[in-house]
Structure 1
Amino acid sequence: MTTTKAAARSAVLLAAILLSVAPAQAAEGVGIDGASLSLIWGIPFVGMLLSIAVIPLIAGSFWHHHYGKVALLWALAFLVPFTITFGAGLTTYEVVHAALLEYIPFIILLFTLFTISGGILLTGNLRGSPGVNTTMLAIGTILASIIGTTGASMVLIRPLLRANDERRHNVHTVIFFIFLVSNIGGSLTPLGDPPLFLGFLKGVDFFWTTEHLFHDTALIAAILLGVFYLLDRYFYAREDKLPEKADPTPETERLGLRGLRNLPLIAGVIVAILLSALWKPDIEFNVLGTHLPLPSIARDVLLLVFAAISMWITPAFIRERNGFDWEPIREVAKLFAAIFLTIIPVIAILKAGSEGALNPLVAFVTGDGGEPFNAGYFWMTGLLSGFLDNAPTYLVFFNLAGGDAQTLMDKYALTLEAISAGAVFMGALTYIGNAPNFMVLAIARSRGVAMPSFFGYMAWSCVFLLPGFALLTWLYFL
């Protein structure tokens, strides 16, 4: 039996055990008490993060061929001890809850936007000059709040790579693309980034983030775009001293946009997401203790239908010209499946607040008089969003600040602003802070860009992002 088949059979066997012996506790929907968990339960999650960070650096070929097995190993490292300790019922509930309400909708949305955007082709020989690159980043930053960070990233990353495919120095362009298009640009509407969409579902007004985060976003975006332009001019000037590199893009091809029939599908994705939030039929299904609303099911089915339509109506040559393949979304699906599993006890500990093992974090966001410490909320939400999934991290601190949308939008508006900005902006600190980061990384590497390692990327993000975040803290949150 091959290693792959053995691993797959182990996963199926474990799932069968969990589903077959689940007692009534799973049906009751009673989750784990985070106050009872020690930090030891976070080891599989930390191991998963370190694997993503270290293995590609020291054993790139092994990682490329076996990252799915590594992810499965850490998932089992959490599931097996957790099942033995707390029982199959509780484990089943936690896994099903995370899968149905978080992971599956998450990966379906990414899959749909990845598929549709892969059918949109910007043709022509764009030259990756500093002016052109900065303009593309600025357009992507604006689009991110309209079609989401995932949609904007998938539509623009390939044209940006083609525009710079004759340049020797192009790594910084992709890194700033992740900063601006895959993260910071998505801060102005609930459609931009998953944390803000969760806030919308909790009752935050649709245009609240547009009004309250516009100045934060404009400041950081302006700083980064200015710094990028100067940096790109420096690297562009150095190209003249290097041997000329052939441009793979045909010079005779006119600038144009192909695959326009996919644009209504992107609009359909936006409508489906809004529909799931605004349609309240009070119909839900109990799946092993997890209550799954009908609008959520309808949204996910619609998204899959849109993806299928895109595959059907898009000529094959468009996807071929885009260098489209399924490996980026396959890698994201496997790695984030393990992340969503191993993060379960970490999120539970955070939700326990002052009673949990991470109670020093709670103390850091609370003033001496019990009032919110806004700078603490910004940095704690942000730093954890850089290493955990930013959507559940947003919810943790949203609830920690009271959890009432009307009160947070009014009396504690600055606190909600700090939480929202931290979750969206600091998702750019690491490759795993936001799903589009990893997808852009995978696409760039598949196109031959020598992207930095996990820690190498963090060196870039610390140098170029943290000073701006410190300025934001001084201006607005202290």
Structure 2
Amino acid sequence: MRSSYRVPERAARRRFNARAARAVHVAYPAAHHGQRGSGVKGHAARASLWLAAALMLAGWSQPTFAATLDGAFLSALWGLPFAGVLLSIAVFPLVAPAFWHHHFGKVAAAWALAFLAPFALSFGAHAAVGALAHALLDEYIPFIILLTALYTVAGGICVRGNLRGTPRLNTAILALGTLLASVMGTTGAAMLLIRPLLRANDNRRHVTHVVVFFIFLVANVGGSLSPLGDPPLFLGFLEGVSFFWTTTHLALPMLFVSGVLLAGFYALDSYYFHRREEVGSRFLDPTPEGGPFGIDGKINFALLAVVIALVLMSGLWRPEVAFDVFGTHVALQNVVRDVALVGVTLLSLVLTPRAARAGNDFNWAPIEEVAKLFAGIFVTIVPVITMLRAGEAGAFAGLVHLVNEPSGEPRDIMYFWATGLLSSFLDNAPTYLVFFNLAGGDAQTLMTSGATTLAAISAGAVFMGANTYIGNAPNFMVKAIAQSRGVRMPSFFAYLAWSGTVLVPLFVVTGWLFFRH
């Protein structure tokens, strides 16, 4: 392994990394109880000051301390800290729940340090600073700003009155969320609908399956029909894939998967609903019926539209102005977007009636958990993504041989599974880019003669984000919100059992039906 961070690259890989870096600069990022009322505003204001300070740092011109790291020179051992983060998320809540509850942020930080310290010793302090700057400024900060904005805005929309969580109503909410996910993004749709769904079912004994299928459908599968639905498709749009290409080419796989899931959910929910003592006494209902149906915090619908517009703007507006921060190029449109999103977050806190947030039992615990854990994930994932981008020259060269025939022809079903399984544990946006480029990287060719290959990559990245809690940002958010409302959610491994039982067989059939070429 070389001791210099600046390493030679082949011309083809230079083009590969340039395309990936240009697309990842996009803005649509790669998702302890607080106080209500004025306390919420104060907490958010302090958080916004930290975010604003980071954005100001992005505006300072700095010397370039880091060049593109060539994954061909990295050992697979550099992926151990990332594996450590995943194992910590999976194991600690089971074996040491009290310790994990109080110290999960410190554990994530320790794994990040376990990567950065040896990396600095091997490649130099400047290289480590460059890697950290890239992880934070190019990926983590935009990611957490967007999630915070969506969490705050959606958390200010409160449905008054009590819907009754029948199988028919629950299925209708899941179907609505699945459709909305391609319009407002999986995170936006999930944050908008999870609280009304939980309120509708708060008098039932079995609610876990409702939230699990919500993650499957609303937080993942539903985002497959437009570039606004999920970050990987947005990156494909920026690479030249037509806006409605995914709508036409993923419609059948999406309808098949969502249709089977909705039918399966309705059958399972009906089984539970008609069991004795499934529904508690109406006198013990935490949100009893009474009062007219209505919505508080309607201003947040307008703010939600602003969030969507800002994300789309950052992909379409290209002023060709960027700031260099320790080797990471921070594009002007991304800075504008992130500053505006912080403003939207503050506006939501100021303009939303206090009763709306109180009605949602709004607190900062879910976003705090996501922010701390994903900080560790985004830092430790850097070498893993870099090795994947190295293609045949990297530690994961076997993947390249797996997805292509010896003649170079793509194996569509292997692209579907390779993209999907990696997207289950890695950030699905850069994973999509890796396989997009392995398949040739030319959008026009992939949309025509390579249409089934591109569809396989797209479907794998979006659908299989549902396989784990960390496969897509809203998964963890939904889990945290449900737990804060008293729902007993599956552990990391128990959730894998759910997805392995329900999703994996469904994806086997999906791959055979649509991508078996």
TM-score tier by shorter-chain length is over 0.9
Aligned twin of 2:24 = none
TM superposition shift of 1:317 = 1.3
CA distance in 2, matches of 1:346, 1:94: 12
Identity of aligned residues (%): 60
- The alignment status of 1:360 with 2:374, answered yes or no, reads no
Change in CA separation of 1:41 and 1:150 when aligned onto 2, cut-off 3 Å: same
Comparing 297-306 with 454-463, which one deviates more in the overlay? Answer: 297-306
Structure 2 residue identity aligned to 1:215: L
Structure 2 residue identity aligned to 1:399: N
CA distance in 2, matches of 1:300, 1:197: 17
Aligned twin of 2:241 = 204
Q: Residue deviations 1:35-87, cap 9 Å, x none? A: 11111111100000000001011111111111001001101100100111111
TM superposition shift of 1:368 = 2.6
Which residue, out of 309, 312, 333, partners 1:295? 333
From the two aligned structures, give the one with the greater helix fraction: 1
Aligned twin of 1:325 = 363
- The alignment status of 1:385 with 2:429, answered yes or no, reads no
Partner of 1:292, secondary structure, is strand
Tell me if structure 2 keeps the 8 A contact 1:169–1:239. no
Which residue, out of 399, 406, 412, partners 1:374? 412
What are the residue-to-residue correspondences of 1:25-44 with 2, within 5 Å?
27=64, 29-44=66-81
CA distance in 1, matches of 2:240, 2:435: 15
CA distance in 1, matches of 2:450, 2:468: 29
TM superposition shift of 1:31 = 2.1
CA distance in 2, matches of 1:303, 1:128: 34
Comparing 226-235 with 208-217, which one deviates more in the overlay? Answer: 208-217
Comparing 72-81 with 396-405, which one deviates more in the overlay? Answer: 396-405
Aligned twin of 2:127 = 90
Partner of 2:295, secondary structure, is strand
Q: Unmatched 5+ residue regions in structure 1? A: 1-18
TM superposition shift of 1:99 = 1.6
Structure 2 residue identity aligned to 1:190: P
CA distance in 2, matches of 1:91, 1:411: 42
Aligned twin of 1:172 = 209
Aligned twin of 1:66 = 103
Aligned twin of 1:135 = 172
- The alignment status of 1:454 with 2:492, answered yes or no, reads yes
TM superposition shift of 1:243 = 6.5
Structure 1 residue identity aligned to 2:215: I
What are the residue-to-residue correspondences of 1:272-351 with 2, within 5 Å?
272-351=310-389
- The alignment status of 1:111 with 2:148, answered yes or no, reads yes
CA distance in 2, matches of 1:109, 1:176: 24
Which residue, out of 201, 219, 224, partners 1:182? 219
TM superposition shift of 1:244 = 4.1
Aligned twin of 1:263 = 301
CA distance in 2, matches of 1:58, 1:253: 45
Aligned twin of 1:13 = none
Cα RMSD for the two superposed structures: 1.5
Aligned twin of 1:234 = 271
Structure 2 residue identity aligned to 1:227: G
- The alignment status of 1:216 with 2:250, answered yes or no, reads no
Q: Residue deviations 1:418-451, cap 9 Å, x none? A: 1111011000000000010000010111111111
Tell me if structure 2 keeps the 8 A contact 1:31–1:90. no
Aligned twin of 1:191 = 228
Q: Residue deviations 1:194-236, cap 9 Å, x none? A: 1111112222111111111111111000000000000000111
Tell me if structure 2 keeps the 8 A contact 1:125–1:254. no
- Count matched residues: 455
CA distance in 2, matches of 1:62, 1:281: 48
CA distance in 2, matches of 1:297, 1:362: 35
TM superposition shift of 1:121 = 0.8
Change in CA separation of 1:408 and 1:340 when aligned onto 2, cut-off 3 Å: same
Partner of 1:27, secondary structure, is coil
Change in CA separation of 1:43 and 1:285 when aligned onto 2, cut-off 3 Å: same
Q: TM-score normalised to the size of structure 2?
A: 0.86
Aligned twin of 1:408 = 446
CA distance in 2, matches of 1:241, 1:351: 50
Tell me if structure 1 keeps the 8 A contact 2:204–2:279. no
Structure 2 residue identity aligned to 1:397: F
Partner of 2:424, secondary structure, is helix
Partner of 1:306, secondary structure, is helix
CA distance in 2, matches of 1:216, 1:192: 15
Structure 2 residue identity aligned to 1:255: F
Structure 1 residue identity aligned to 2:261: L
Change in CA separation of 1:294 and 1:465 when aligned onto 2, cut-off 3 Å: same
Aligned twin of 1:123 = 160
CA distance in 2, matches of 1:212, 1:240: 45
TM superposition shift of 1:183 = 0.5
CA distance in 2, matches of 1:45, 1:243: 43
Structure 2 residue identity aligned to 1:476: F
Tell me if structure 2 keeps the 8 A contact 1:79–1:91. yes
Q: Residue deviations 1:358-388, cap 9 Å, x none? A: 1111111011311111111100100011011
Q: Residue deviations 1:289-334, cap 9 Å, x none? A: 2111111111111111111111110011111110111111111111
- The answer to which structure, 1 or 2, has the higher relative contact order (CA under 8 A, 6+ apart) is 2
TM superposition shift of 1:28 = 6.0
Q: TM-score normalised to the size of structure 1?
A: 0.93
- The alignment status of 1:225 with 2:262, answered yes or no, reads yes
Partner of 1:238, secondary structure, is coil
Tell me if structure 2 keeps the 8 A contact 1:378–1:422. yes
Comparing 391-400 with 328-337, which one deviates more in the overlay? Answer: 391-400
Partner of 1:125, secondary structure, is coil
TM superposition shift of 1:241 = 6.6
Aligned twin of 1:153 = 190
Structure 1 segments of 4 or more deviating over 6 A? none
